Amino acid sequence: TQLLEQSPQFLSIQEGENLTVYCNSSSVFSSLQWYRQEPGEGPVLLVTVVTGGEVKKLKRLTFQFGDARKDSSLHITAAQPGDTGLYLCAGAEGETSYDKVIFGPGTSLSVIP
Amino acid sequence: DTEVTQTPKHLVMGMTNKKSLKCEQHMGHRAMYWYKQKAKKPPELMFVYSYEKLSINESVPSRFSPECPNSSLLNLHLHALQPEDSALYLCASSQQDRAQETQYFGPGTRLLVL
């Protein structure tokens, strides 16, 4: 069974601190997405990574896809209260319509002013 | 434009009511999805439509009935729901019905069943 794990599950930090969230699997993924979700709202896509070793930057957010395409990390520099939310990683093992997107359990981030 | 819209934003219904959730996208995506999400949990897939045809039904109870009238619209008809069906219902779309395609989510409908 495909499984995506995320760590930590919960994270509470002060404004201005840096943090890293991890998404791990024993399976190889053809692509992986990171989403941020605020309470009562739908997940908002942050990034899609497809190439092993790929690094993408989105302002203060840096995303990395592992060389073996089994893991990914999200690093936030100088966190702000607006970064608060549930961070979900989602991945697909295969490329066909018979393969489903798998969601990790999420990391709930709280940035305290 | 990567917008998926959903209506209503909130819905309260009794167990004997019939209601419908609506989802719309104008990105030309050919795959559309319904998810159910409980608080602090990841979304759970319910249905997948590909080219307006139902391609995946994740053993969802028949009190949930999806419909895809055209390539831009997706409905979820609700009838005789249970209180445990209260959740955030999310619609998503992607270019094609392939797992590696990025899915774009709507804001969701917060459903409360009394």
Determine the residue of chain B that is closest to A86 in CA distance.
B40
Six-digit token pair at B4? Answer: 């998926």
With a pLDDT cut of 70, the percent of chain A lying above it is 93
Question: Which residues in chain B are contacts of A104 at CB distance < 8 A?
Answer: 42
**How distant is the Cα of B8 from the closest Cα of chain A, in angstroms?**
13
Q: Which residue of A has its CA nearest to B41?
A: A105
Q: Tell me what pLDDT residue B56 has.
A: 86
Chain A residue with minimum CA distance to B87: A40
| pLDDT at position A96 | 62
User: A2 falls in which pLDDT band (50, 70, 90)?
Assistant: low
**B108 at A interface, C-beta within 8 A:** yes
> Per-residue pLDDT tens for A7-20?
999 999 999 999 99
Measured between beta carbons, the chain A residues lying within 8 angstroms of B32 are none
Q: Which residue of B has its CA nearest to A42?
A: B107
Nearest to B102 among A45, A93, A97 (CB): A45
Beta bridge partners of B113: B13
Across the interface, of B40, B103, B108, the residue whose CB is closest to A101 is B103
Residues A92-111: pLDDT tens digits? Answer: 876 665 567 889 999 999 99
A56-76 tens-digit pLDDT: 999 999 999 999 999 999 999
Does position A37 have pLDDT exceeding 70, yes or no? yes
Query: Which residues does chain B have with pLDDT short of 50?
Result: none
User: How far away is chain B from the Cα of A89, in angstroms, using its nearest Cα?
Assistant: 9
Select the residue from A46, A97, A107 to test the B interface by mutation, using most B Cβ atoms within 10 A.
A97
